[in-house]
Every structure is written in structure tokens, then in C-alpha cells.
A and B are shown apart, each in its own frame.
Chain A
Amino acid sequence: MFRLGLIVNPVAGMGGRVGLKGTDGAESLARARELGAVPLAPARAGQALAVLLPALDSIRLLTCPGAMGEAAAVACGLPCETVDLRPGAETGPDDTKAAARMMADRGVDLLLFAGGDGTARDIADAVGERVPCLGIPAGVKIHSAVFASTPLHAGELALALARGKRPRLHLAEVMDIDEEAFRGGEVRSRLYGYLSVPGDRRRMQGQKAGTPKSEKAMQEAIAHDILERLSPDVLALVGPGSTTRELKRLLGREGTLLGVDAFKGGRLVGEDCNERRLLELIALEPGGNVRIVVTPIGGQGFLFGRGNQQFSPEVLRRADREGIWIASTQGKLAALGGSPLKIDTGDSALDRELMGYYKAVTGYHESVMVRVEA
């Protein structure tokens, strides 16, 4: 029996149709309602659930009461039980988190959630990498790589798993866009966390090439290549991401997935460093022996300025251009469809200086020439 969890964020996506760029926070939700917005996520969840009907007998659906899942399941005729959650009239992030935790504790095989980046963030907070998760895209902002490309595809992926297909899991980025800035027309995103997501070459957003299995192997190969070139007297500042995490692992430390960790001579000398700490460490290197190991973030191709602002203009100026080592899987580069990598450090003179061609490590003794633009 396949145990499927379902969480619907009923207010996700309401801001979109009425021109608000997101529905995070009570105020924007109220504003969306004023503008006549109606809930969309339950219907999107229903589209995904309808795909599961042929496998009714082999699925046990565990969801939340009412609009957070039960209603959608009942509407499409899928029997379900609910977790012990009593959301108020207005559901919120705490309900999502509590529900996700309960489902993880009940050992669901897959947690489907309908929402947007905000919902993904809540799920990541609650269960991290404990449970395979998959997003049904229903929000205004879908910048995270944890969503299927459409609700139907989410349903199909779940159906395949319910029918006994073994999930191939990989870590996918949960992105966090600052809605306030986004409403002002500015995209300011950062890497918020990771969810463990079942891969399907065809059904995941942004997954244009490669397989989870080989992606992991490629990340390890990249790490070995970099490790081989890191001499013991070099200070290596290793940026966030699942690609660079393999390097951190090889250096003997789990390190932080989302932060910048500093290594020297095979030792961790700074964990989750902020800009100031990085500058302190760099100051200890009079010879300027500093390497910055960085991987492009998400499907957007940002090298600096998104998700790794610890690498401030001042930090970057201290490491010379040759000291910037880019690491990326071939799949990630291919998904950019030939677009250059981007930098937006906030210092346009520096951005211009850093433009040009770099060798991005894509495997052991393998690299791709990439163009970096401001």
C-alpha cells in the first residue's frame, strides 16, 4: 500500500490573478480577497489527485481536514483519512508545518503539497530531507525546483510511484523570493533550503538532463577534481549548494548546505561564515591564497548576488579573478539553454571586472567554458 500525504495551501496563488505578486502575509491575503481573488490551489490539487483514481486500491491518502486537502480529495472521489489538525478559519504557515511533521511521523512514502515557494519553504522547515516531497504548482511564485511542471504531471509522478516505481531522489532547491521587493519589480531571491524530490527526467521543472543518480555521481566527481587542485596552504571559501556540499563532505565535514564554509589544509576553519568572518579569514592570508568555490544557483544561473550574498563585493575583490572556481553539473548548465551565468553583486564596477569566460568544473578533469555576464 502506497502512503500518500497531501497538504493544500488553500490561499496559495490567490494574489496572482489580481496582480499581487504573492500571497505571503496576512495583509496581502486580505488585499487579494478585496480584489476578488478566489482560492485556486484546491482545484490544482484536484487535477493532480484525479490522475490517481485508476490506482485507488493501492493508495492510502493521508491529508488535512477541510480546505487543506480533504475537500479536494472528496471532490474527486478519493477516499482519505486526515491528520489531527484543527486549523482556524484562516490557515497559515504553522498549519502547513504541523501537518507536514505529522505526515512525516506517520511515514508517508510521498508528500504532495499544492502551493508556491512560500509553501515549499514551510515544508522544508518542517521535514527537511526526511520525506520525499513533490510540489503541485499552485502559487504565484514558482522559483523553486521542487515542483512538477504541471498538476497533471505531479499526479502522474505520484501514480508511477504508487504503482511500484522506485523513487530516485535528489535534493532540489527551495528558493525564497522577497515578495516586498518583488512587488517593487525587483527579483531578490535566495537559496532557502532543499527538499528531497523524486526525479523523473521528463516531469520535473528545470530537470532537462541527467538523472538523479548520475547527478550525485557528477557532484562527487566535481568535488574530487577540486580537491585535487586545492593545495594545503590555500584558504578555500566554499559556497552554498548541493554541488559544493559534496566537496565539503570530502573535506571531512558535513558543512552547511546553505552557508559559506571555509577550509584550509583539509580543516574546517569557519562554518557558515558571514561577510565579516570571511574578511577576517582572508586578512590572515597575506599571500592572497584564497579560492572561492561557487556553484550557480537554481535554474537562474546566478553565480554571485543570489543565495550567496556573503560573497560581498569586498570579499570578491580580495580573491583575485583566477581564484574564483565555478562548479556545476552538465545538467545544470544545459538547463540554462546557452544563457550566460549572471552576477549581480551590487557593485557594478566589480561586476564588469568579473565578466568574461571561466572554466566551470563539470566532472573529474572535465570543464566547460562558461560566459559570465553582469
Chain B
Amino acid sequence: MGMDMKEKIRDFHQARWDEPVIFELSAPGERGILVPEGGPEVEAAGKEAMAALPAGMLRAAPPALPEMGQMKVVKHFLRLSQENLGADFNIDIGQGTCTMKYSPKVNDKLAASPKVADLHPLQDESTLQGALEILYKTEQLLKSISGLDRFCLHPGGGSQALSGIAAIIRAWVDDQGLQDTKDEIVTTIFSHPSNPAVAKLKGFKVITIYPDPVTGRPDFEAFKAAVSDRTAALMITNPEDIGLYNDRIKEFTDLVHAHGGICSYDQANANGILGITRAKEAGFDLCFFNIHKTFSSPHGCGGPGCGVIGVAEHLVPYLPIPLVSHCEKGGRYYLDTDPPKTVGKIKDFYGVLPAVVRAYAWIMNLGAEGLLEVARVSILNNNYVFRKVLKMKGAGAPPYAEGEHRMEQVRYSFQRLKDETGIGFAEVQNRIFDYAGHIWSSHEPFIVPEPFTIEPTESYSKDELDEYLAILGRIVEEAYADPEMLKHAPHRSVIHHVDHDYLDDPKRWAITWRMYKKRFDGYFEPKKG
């Protein structure tokens, strides 16, 4: 018998293998494959090649790679995979802002086809016509989804797309000789933090707008006070992470344009607006989408990811190269390195082809009406969950936009639960692992206290949404009945407690095994001497 479908609470227990780090499994001399001796000819060629390398580039000792037989390797990784909780296992709607929707397996099949997987990026473009055609056609689809005029599909993720956008803004400012007068970029606190980060990276000063406490939208009066002739650009997310669409967005872009600046639209997550509103009509000169969110390719860890940058006509000359163009006459597709003021290359070769293949398949499968349906269902699902969470004891949402519905996600708060039981978000986050779930807080700083963010997407059925809500409801009940038990959660997971303090203290970071061995013994015990 499985779980009671009425109660919807699983008697879950995570697998626990207590699996060592792969380096600890290494046995000197053990091998996965025994490579045959090359014979004198190969040996001679090898020596010749080695001799050609400068002495300074040669290792004194071979790299300390783990030495293991194949069977051990297979077991190691399968065990680790069982200690995991991926999007294909759990109801992954607690990872708000990430749009953890279903990625159809048939698209994986297309991406894994030898026609894609066996291509070499240095192949002559005459032999890459199919791949180039997919890149070109995907670009045409993205143009019509955003209303912008040209796309670069290279970036390997959202932050890289944003960094490409910041490079374009920098090039545009410098090109006009405005570097001394336009040195500010305006953003909002609920825009993704990579927006201000890349602005800083490109030498701009960043001014951040907080929300209006009543409407929850960026405070337009504050925005007016921030924008001036020094404003190079606006970099803004809409709808913002709290799930509210800024319906005055055109006034924001108009104001920036009136001061001679340009506007970049962070549409990493466009799941709630597909077919409803576009960057062009909102007055934007640039935008980007995360293919691995809205367009159904898996996220970075399962991907890799892909962010795509779109620009209006006047910024096309600055796009990263190469673009993919089509020669109408000969009917050929080719790598176009032409944009005269290009910011250069931002990713090797021409981007993450498998992600684009999946997105192309996904968009073509749904069509324009299907995309609109995606947005409508994701909004419907979200507002269903929204109503249910608001009724939950101890949970709430910030008092913005009272009575209004939300877009595709909501930022909630467990402040009341914390006040009444001492159990805050962090304890709920630990406990939900015991029910095969996961929940995420928000980016820092925590403007919403004890935050959590839920984004149901269009993929989930009402049954599954109810299951997730039942889990949250159970944990809230537990918080009131037995807060002590929650403080020691998780009880049925791989690791009992993760000490996050290490993340805050660079002195205790060990991001490689070698670094760990240098600094620590056992479990993070500082090395003596």
C-alpha cells in the first residue's frame, strides 16, 4: 500500500549511504580501463609531443585523480543519486523563482540524438547546417515572443546573459562618449541580484528602489528621484520575485528614455507573461530569457543552462559574436561575426546547443496558443496555492496589493508562525525534507521576514499541488504541537543537520578536496600546526 491519497502525506525515508568522497575511495593502481601499450611508434610520437611543451607547463607529479574500477564508480554515483531529491522526484514548487517545470523527456531524446550530441563545434559550418537552422529558427521564435529585433543565444546561464547585457550597455555608453556623464544604473530590490552585480562589474554605480509599501510595486516616486541624466540604464525584473506585475512599467521606461538612458528587462522567468505582454511594448531596448526556466530545458545542474539576450535594432551592432544568419539567396545558414561594435565572445563556440534544441522542440510543440496557455495555467495554479497558503495558520504574505491576485509565484512569510511557535522558515525548510519536499527562502536581504517562495508552474496537477499544501499544513501543525521535534529536523534525510555557518566565513571555505585536506582533518576539524 502506498500513501493515503486522501491524506496525501507520504511515509517517506531518504536513502542514506554514508558514501565517502570519491577521493577517499581511491585505491592506488586500481583502474577503470586498462589502456594497451602504444608500441614504439606511438611512444616516439608521445615523446616528441612532450618535448615540444615548455618545461614550466609540465607537471612535476601526475594529478591526484581517484583510481577506481568501473563497478566502484557506477556504485558511487548511483548511491549519490539516491541521496538526491531532483525535480523528477519531488513536487518541486518550493523552489520559487526557478520555474521548476516539467521538461518533456522526448526533448531530451532529441538533444541526445547523435545528430546533436556527436557534433564537434569546430566542424565546418557547411556540415552544421541542421544545427545552425535550429539556432536561427529559435531566434526567430524568441523575436516574436519578445518583440525585439535580434537575439544572441550564447550565454550558459542567466547571470552570464545579464553580464552580456551589462557589456552591451557599457559598449553603448562608451561608443557615444558618455562614460563620464552616464555612470549609474537603476534597479529594484526584488529584481534578481545579478542585475546590480553585473552593473557593478562593468563599472556602473547602482541605485536600488524598494517597493511601495501599499502596492508592492517599485516606488515610482523614489524612481523619479533616482533617475537623472546620469542614468545609463534601467535593469529590472517584471513580474518581480514577489509575484506582482508592475503595470506602470511603461512609465518607468519612458522616464529613463527621456533622460537618454536605455532599459533592460530581466525576463529570466517569463512563465507568467508568455503571450500576454512583451518587452517591446513595455518600452525595453534589451531583454533576456532563461531557456532553462521558461522554455523547459533543465536547470544548470541538470542542463547546463542557457540564457538568451535580445536587443532592439539600435543595439544589434553591439551583440556578442558569432550570430547565426541566413543567406536568403543560397539558402545557407552561417556564423556571422559581422556586428561592427560587438562586445566580443562571451561563451565558447556558439553556446549550449542541447538547451536550444529542447527549447525549439518545446515552443514548436506548443505553438503560440500553447505558450499563452502555459502562462494562464501557471497563474491559475499559483493563485490556487496562494489562497490556500493564506488560510494556513502561521503563514502569510507581505501586506502588499491587498486583494489582488498574483502572477506565477508568491513570496510568503512565516513570521507569524515564528512569533507564535518559535519555528521559523529555517526549521520548516529542514522538516520538509522528511516529507520528500523542498522549500526555498528568498534572495538576501530578507525584505520579507522569514520568507519562502512558491512557484507552482503549469506542470503540476491539482492533486500534486494539494499534496504539497498538505505537507506544509502538516509541518505547521507540528510547529504548534511539537516545536522541539521540528528544531531537530530532518529526521528521515541523508544528513541530519548542515552547518550553514561555514558559508558565511571565507576562512572556513574549502571549495576543492585539495584545499580541504590542507585545512581540515576529519569533519571540518581544523588541521593542527
The reply to whether A209 and B445 contact each other, CB–CB distance below 8 Å, is yes
Say if the beta carbon of A287 comes within 8 Å of chain B: no
The reply to whether A210 and B447 contact each other, CB–CB distance below 8 Å, is no
Query: Contacts A331-B445, A357-B221; is A202 near B422 (CB within 8 Å)?
Result: no
Q: In the complex, which residues 426-449 of chain B have their Cβ closer than 8 Å to any Cβ of chain A?
A: 426, 444-447, 449
A227 to B209, CA, bound (A): 24
Say if the beta carbon of A188 comes within 8 Å of chain B: no
The reply to whether A365 and B206 contact each other, CB–CB distance below 8 Å, is yes
Contact partner of B424 among A202, A339, A357, CB < 8 A?
A202
Interface stretch, picked from B171-179, B222-230, B380-388, is B222-230
* CB-based nearest B residue for A338: B213
The total of Cβ contacts below 8 Å across the A-B interface reads 79
The reply to whether A334 and B222 contact each other, CB–CB distance below 8 Å, is no
Binding site of B, secondary structure by majority: helix, strand, loop or mixed? mixed
Say if the beta carbon of B460 comes within 8 Å of chain A: no
Q: In the complex, which residues 190-224 of chain A have their Cβ closer than 8 Å to any Cβ of chain B?
A: 202, 208-211, 213-214
A362 to B209, CA, bound (A): 12
A366 to B209, CA, bound (A): 11
The reply to whether B205 and A334 contact each other, CB–CB distance below 8 Å, is no
Contact partner of B210 among A168, A210, A368, CB < 8 A?
A368
Residue numbers in A under 8 Å from B422 (CB-CB): 150, 152-153
Say if the beta carbon of A23 comes within 8 Å of chain B: no
Say if the beta carbon of A243 comes within 8 Å of chain B: no
A82 to B221, CA, bound (A): 59
Residue numbers in B under 8 Å from A288 (CB-CB): none
The reply to whether A208 and B208 contact each other, CB–CB distance below 8 Å, is no
Query: Contacts A168-B505, A368-B189; is A338 near B206 (CB within 8 Å)?
Result: no
The reply to whether A357 and B208 contact each other, CB–CB distance below 8 Å, is no
Count residues of A near B (Cβ-Cβ below 8 Å): 31
A368 to B210, CA, bound (A): 7
The reply to whether B505 and A371 contact each other, CB–CB distance below 8 Å, is no
A208 to B418, CA, bound (A): 13
The reply to whether B200 and A366 contact each other, CB–CB distance below 8 Å, is yes
* CB-based nearest A residue for B204: A365
The reply to whether B446 and A213 contact each other, CB–CB distance below 8 Å, is no
Contact partner of A369 among B222, B426, B444, CB < 8 A?
B222
Say if the beta carbon of A359 comes within 8 Å of chain B: yes
A339 to B204, CA, bound (A): 28
* CB-based nearest B residue for A164: B525
The reply to whether A369 and B424 contact each other, CB–CB distance below 8 Å, is no
Say if the beta carbon of A232 comes within 8 Å of chain B: no
**Smallest beta-carbon distance A368→chain B, Å:** 5
The reply to whether A213 and B505 contact each other, CB–CB distance below 8 Å, is yes
* CB-based nearest A residue for B207: A367
Counting chain A CB atoms within 10 Å of each CB, the highest count among B200, B221, B424, B445 belongs to B445
The reply to whether B445 and A210 contact each other, CB–CB distance below 8 Å, is yes
Query: Contacts A213-B504, A338-B213; is A208 near B207 (CB within 8 Å)?
Result: no
Binding site of A, secondary structure by majority: helix, strand, loop or mixed? mixed
The reply to whether B207 and A368 contact each other, CB–CB distance below 8 Å, is yes
The reply to whether A334 and B446 contact each other, CB–CB distance below 8 Å, is yes
Q: In the complex, which residues 332-374 of chain A have their Cβ closer than 8 Å to any Cβ of chain B?
A: 333-334, 337-339, 356-357, 359, 362, 365-371
Q: In the complex, which residues 67-95 of chain A have their Cβ closer than 8 Å to any Cβ of chain B?
A: none
A370 to B223, CA, bound (A): 10
The reply to whether A334 and B447 contact each other, CB–CB distance below 8 Å, is yes
Counting chain B CB atoms within 10 Å of each CB, the highest count among A214, A362, A371 belongs to A371
A330 to B205, CA, bound (A): 16
Contact partner of B200 among A359, A362, A365, A369, CB < 8 A?
A365
Query: Contacts A152-B422, A338-B213; is A330 near B445 (CB within 8 Å)?
Result: yes
A56 to B219, CA, bound (A): 53
Residue numbers in B under 8 Å from A209 (CB-CB): 444-446
**Smallest beta-carbon distance B191→chain A, Å:** 13
Q: In the complex, which residues 486-529 of chain B have their Cβ closer than 8 Å to any Cβ of chain A?
A: 499, 501, 504-506
* CB-based nearest A residue for B400: A338
Residue numbers in B under 8 Å from A210 (CB-CB): 444-445
Q: In the complex, which residues 442-460 of chain B have their Cβ closer than 8 Å to any Cβ of chain A?
A: 444-447, 449
Residue numbers in B under 8 Å from A152 (CB-CB): 422
Say if the beta carbon of B196 comes within 8 Å of chain A: yes
**Smallest beta-carbon distance B405→chain A, Å:** 21
The reply to whether B210 and A338 contact each other, CB–CB distance below 8 Å, is yes
Residue numbers in A under 8 Å from B204 (CB-CB): 365
**Smallest beta-carbon distance A50→chain B, Å:** 12
A357 to B212, CA, bound (A): 13
A49 to B444, CA, bound (A): 32
The reply to whether B447 and A338 contact each other, CB–CB distance below 8 Å, is yes
Say if the beta carbon of B211 comes within 8 Å of chain A: yes
**Smallest beta-carbon distance A72→chain B, Å:** 21
A202 to B504, CA, bound (A): 14
Query: Contacts A153-B422, A211-B504, A357-B222; is A369 near B447 (CB within 8 Å)?
Result: no
* CB-based nearest B residue for A211: B504
Counting chain A CB atoms within 10 Å of each CB, the highest count among B426, B504, B506 belongs to B504
CB-based closest 7 A-B pairs: A209-B445, A357-B225, A334-B445, A369-B222, A365-B205, A338-B213, A211-B504
Further 14 A-B residue pairs, CB within 8 A, beyond A168-B504, A357-B221, A359-B207: A153-B422, A202-B426, A210-B445, A337-B447, A338-B211, A338-B447, A365-B204, A366-B205, A367-B206, A367-B208, A369-B209, A369-B219, A369-B223, A371-B219
12 contacts between A and B (CB under 8 A): A165-B501, A166-B501, A168-B504, A202-B424, A209-B444, A209-B445, A333-B445, A356-B225, A357-B221, A357-B222, A367-B208, A368-B207
